[in-house]
């Protein structure tokens, strides 16, 4: 990103340059990581940027807020209006993402329990985004493994991301795209992605629940697998199964679905992106094209 990167952002009812947005130091997000966030992908279309799976992202934001007992500052229509304005205000021509963060608000003094009578802090920005290139998809990416040492509310999309930050740094220091985490010998997820394996033509995903964040791509990949006739199982996946997989892939808003071809320096299956990945990636592009054209039709 260039140094003049200064999108127009939303902070507590005010739109202005990112470089001028300020929060008080006693914001609970800053002091305790007491907040949640969302990342919605935006795709460049001939009619401007359009979100993908927005309904599902807003539903997850509502669930995350509910789980940490912050009153949702907006209803669905309110969020949609804000997001539409964020897109309009930041009308670049490339792909992008909308970042939304809601914290419990600003306290008068530091203390762990919820302060009474404070309003949530709401922040939103649009950042340009480059999806993985066709070349990187043809090759596949490297991943490394590590023990999952996070808390047991990984289902909440919390801004308390220290565990994930350390795992992302571990990947970066090992020249890998992602760290794949294991807890008690079972696959959980990446630092910022869900992880899928293929064995004997079957697609397997770690169980939804408190050990992983249910990506918006989780249900999507289930749908895409069904569409492509790929049997899918949501169940515990052992470390041995991970290391013996025919294919491994990760999914996230910013990576879509991405093949992992090297795990801890060992080739995954044939060491090339596999047929299940290819089928899911194609189905993903079709689902996206359908939804983006519906968005364009509604916008006209
Ligand atoms: N797990 C974690 C820990 C994540 O940060 C993400 C990215 N938000 C995901 C899974 C994938 O979620 P999504 O498909 O909604 O991007």
pLDDT in tens, 118-161: 999 999 999 999 999 999 999 999 999 999 999 999 999 999 99
Structurally, the chain folds into a number of domains equal to 2
- Please report the pLDDT score of residue 296 as a whole number: 84
- Please report the pLDDT score of residue 13 as a whole number: 98
For residue 21, what is the domain's CATH number? Answer: 3.30.470.10
In angstroms, how far is the first alpha carbon of the chain from the final one? 32
- The domain of 23 spans 8-128
Average pLDDT for 50-63: 98
Enumerate the active-site residues.
157
d(CA 194, CA 208): 10
Residue 300 lies in a domain: no
CA–centroid distance for 202 within its chain: 24
Residue 256 lies in a domain: yes
Regarding whether 279 and 174 lie in a shared domain, the answer is yes
- Tell which residue, 29, 45, 27, has the closest CA to residue 37: 29
Regarding whether 117 and 141 lie in a shared domain, the answer is no
Regarding whether 171 and 50 lie in a shared domain, the answer is no
158 pairs with which residues across the strands? 36
Of the chain, the percentage scoring pLDDT greater than 90 comes to 95
Residue-wise pLDDT tens digits, 175-200: 999 999 999 999 999 999 999 999 99
Where does the pLDDT of residue 300 fall: very low under 50, low under 70, confident under 90, or very high at 90 and above? confident
Residue-wise pLDDT tens digits, 220-259: 999 999 999 999 999 999 999 999 999 999 999 999 999 9
Regarding whether 141 and 115 lie in a shared domain, the answer is no
Regarding whether 174 and 52 lie in a shared domain, the answer is no
Regarding whether 155 and 114 lie in a shared domain, the answer is no
Q: Which is the closest atom of ligand 1 to the Cα of 254? A: 16
Residue 14 lies in a domain: yes
Residue-wise pLDDT tens digits, 62-91: 999 999 999 999 999 999 999 999 999 998
**128, 155, 173 — which closes off a domain?**
128
Q: Which is the closest atom of ligand 1 to the Cα of 194? A: 10
Regarding whether 230 and 191 lie in a shared domain, the answer is yes
Per-residue CA distances from 86 to 8, 19, 31, 50, 90 (Å): 8, 16, 27, 11, 6
Helix (H) or strand (E) holding 92: none
Residue-wise pLDDT tens digits, 226-235: 999 999 999 9
Ligand 1 centre distance from Cα of residue 9 (Å): 23
Average pLDDT for 97-114: 98
Regarding whether 179 and 48 lie in a shared domain, the answer is no
- Strands 202-205 and 232-234, bridge-based pairing: parallel
pLDDT at 168 over 70: yes
Ligand 1 centre distance from Cα of residue 110 (Å): 31
pLDDT at 3 over 80: no
Regarding whether 235 and 117 lie in a shared domain, the answer is no
Regarding whether 116 and 142 lie in a shared domain, the answer is no
Supply the DSSP string of 106-171, one letter for each residue. B-SS--SSPPTT-PPEEEEEEEE--PPPHHHHHH-EEEEEEE----S-TTS-BS--HHHHHHHHHH
**83, 99, 128 — which closes off a domain?**
128
pLDDT at 106 over 80: yes
Q: Whose CA is nearest to atom 1 of ligand 1?
A: 193
- Please report the pLDDT score of residue 299 as a whole number: 78
User: Does ligand 1 have an atom closer than 6 angstroms to the CB of 213?
Assistant: yes
d(CA 151, CA 34): 14
Where does the pLDDT of residue 2 fall: very low under 50, low under 70, confident under 90, or very high at 90 and above? low
**61, 94, 128 — which closes off a domain?**
128
Regarding whether 139 and 88 lie in a shared domain, the answer is no
User: Does ligand 1 have an atom closer than 6 angstroms to the CB of 64?
Assistant: no
Regarding whether 13 and 122 lie in a shared domain, the answer is yes
Residue 226, φ and ψ in degrees, nearest 5: -60, -45
Residue 82 lies in a domain: yes
Q: Whose CA is nearest to atom 3 of ligand 1?
A: 192
Helix (H) or strand (E) holding 36: strand 35-45
d(CA 150, CA 179): 13
pTM of the predicted structure, to 2 decimals: 0.97
- Please report the pLDDT score of residue 298 as a whole number: 84
CB neighbour list of residue 10: distance below 8 Å, 6 or more residues apart: 82, 85, 86, 122, 123, 124, 125
């Amino acid at each position: 990103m260039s140094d003049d990167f200064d999108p127009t952002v939303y902070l507590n009812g005010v739109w202005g340059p990112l470089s001028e947005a300020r929060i008080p130091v006693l914001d609970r997000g800053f002091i305790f990581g007491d907040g949640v966030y969302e990342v919605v992908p935006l795709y460049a279309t001939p009619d401007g940027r359009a979100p993908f799976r927005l309904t599902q992202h807003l539903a997850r934001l509502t669930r995350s807020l509910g789980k940490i007992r912050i009153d949702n500052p907006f209803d669905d229509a309110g969020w949609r209006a804000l997001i539409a304005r964020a897109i309009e205000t930041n009308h670049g021509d490339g792909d992008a993402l909308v970042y939304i963060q809601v914290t419990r608000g600003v306290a008068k003094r530091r203390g762990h329990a919820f302060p009474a009578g404070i309003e949530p802090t709401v922040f939103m920005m649009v950042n340009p985004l480059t999806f993985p290139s066709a070349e990187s998809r043809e090759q596949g990416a490297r991943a490394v493994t590590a023990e999952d040492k996070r808390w047991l509310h990984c289902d909440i999309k919390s801004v308390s991301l220290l565990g994930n930050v350390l795992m992302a740094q571990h990947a970066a220091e090992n020249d890998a795209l992602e760290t794949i985490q294991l807890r008690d010998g079972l696959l959980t997820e990446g630092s910022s992605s869900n992880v899928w394996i293929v064995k004997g033509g079957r697609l397997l995903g770690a169980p939804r629940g408190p050990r992983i964040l249910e990506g918006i791509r989780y249900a999507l990949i289930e749908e895409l697998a069904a569409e492509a006739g790929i049997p899918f199982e949501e169940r515990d996946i052992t470390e041995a199964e991970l290391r013996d997989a025919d294919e491994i892939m990760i999914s996230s808003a910013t990576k879509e679905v991405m093949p992992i071809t090297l795990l801890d320096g060992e080739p995954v299956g044939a060491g090339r992106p596999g047929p299940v990945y290819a089928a899911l990636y194609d189905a993903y592009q079709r689902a996206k094209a359908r939804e983006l054209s519906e968005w364009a039709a509604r916008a006209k």
